[in-house]
Amino acid sequence: MDKLDVDELFLCKNCSLMIDEPYESECCGILYCQNCTNDLSYTNCTVCKKLFKFRKNIFAKNLLKKVDLKCKHLCGGKFPYDEMKIHLFRCGNKMFKCTIDYCYCVEKKKQMIDHSLLLHSNEILILMENYEEFQHTIEKIKSNPIDNRKNNEDRFKE
């Protein structure tokens, strides 16, 4: 009998990323992440051609909490599910894409920091100067998302 690769079992069949909140298609039982279920809700299943319907998979969520998963950035680390998000954010092997002035350099975290400081120091200073205003705007949106959504809808009606 072949060994199961637990990490492969918990990859979303649509986006190929690690499933955060496991949902399954009611028709075939295939696992998808919550974000992809929103994208696929009005499409047909690629396996049985029925209209997708999804439900949370509590069993898969509980199983995820009991296994160590390999880092997708290939650093060699294995982490419990609950710690994986933090690790993926901090992982030194994570690749970043620079989009300042259409630069599009792709580097690991440390090299991207060096690249940014060397080539984009003025842009970084502008971001730093405006960060407090940006943070205040984000907090305002988080504190009252319904009012902000309504304001945006009203703005687009004009």
Whether 28 and 46 have beta carbons less than 8 Å apart is answered as no
Q: What is each CA distance from 91 to 5, 9, 73, in whole angstroms?
A: 22, 22, 7
Q: What is the pLDDT of residues 86-110, one digit of tens each?
A: 898 889 999 999 988 788 899 998 9
Split at pLDDT 50, 70, 90, the class of 2 is low
Domain boundaries, the chain: 6-81, 95-157
Q: What is the pLDDT of residues 18-66, one digit of tens each?
A: 787 899 988 888 898 888 888 887 788 877 888 888 899 999 988 888 8
CATH topology of domain 6-81: Herpes Virus-1 (3.30.40)
| pTM of the predicted protein model | 0.55
Confidence at residue 3, expressed as pLDDT on a 0 to 100 scale? 59
Split at pLDDT 50, 70, 90, the class of 145 is low
CA angle 115, 116, 121 (to 5 degrees): 130
Q: Under DSSP, is residue 74 helix (H, G, I), strand (E, B) or coil?
A: coil
Percent of the chain past pLDDT 90, that is, above it, reads 20
